[in-house]
Amino acid sequence: MEVSGYMIREALKGHDLKRTLAAAQFESTLYAFDGEKKAAPMDVYTAFSVAERAIAKLQYAQTMVNVKVMVDVLGERLSLCEAIKRVGGASRAEKMWRKAAGEKDKKQRYSYGESDDAGTVRKAGETRAIATIAPESAVAQAQLVAKYTSALRVAIAGANAQEVEIEGLDPALFA
């Protein structure tokens, strides 16, 4: 069956909802008052179990797609799997350089007192640390890392639209 990353993602959401609902219902099926109609625990468990197996099969298919599909990120060829693994680190690096370039995080922006001096003053009113990088250099590095992060995201989005043949994948998982 030919599938795309987006198809798998949406199917996973559907089966995750089924699993979550079955798990939430299970405990309430264990007891009932006289005359009270409830689903049988085994039926709810079966729904949960079927959803779990479907999720496992879809995650396997997702892994296969991620390994088979190749992307180009600023001239570097890598698997979709590796691009996905890199984007988190690239985002964290971008955040670090933005902060170094002078973008204050939310904690600093709304704080009072000398928290802006944290780590740059040995004793209040005494020696101050000197910046180890010029603001212009930090801005340039932030822009460079942001370009790389953006390129990863664009490559991932495009790759998730590609359809890949996954042998033995049951079309019923997408119904």
DSSP assignment of 104-159: PPHHHHT--SSGGGTTTBSSTTS-BPPPSS-HHHHHHHHHHHHHHHHHHHHHHHHH
Consecutive 10-residue runs of the chain (175 residues): their mean pLDDT?
A: 97 98 97 96 98 98 97 98 98 96 62 56 79 92 97 98 96 96
Helices 80-100 and 135-161: angle between axes, nearest 10 degrees: 160
Domain ranges of the chain: 2-174
pTM: 0.79
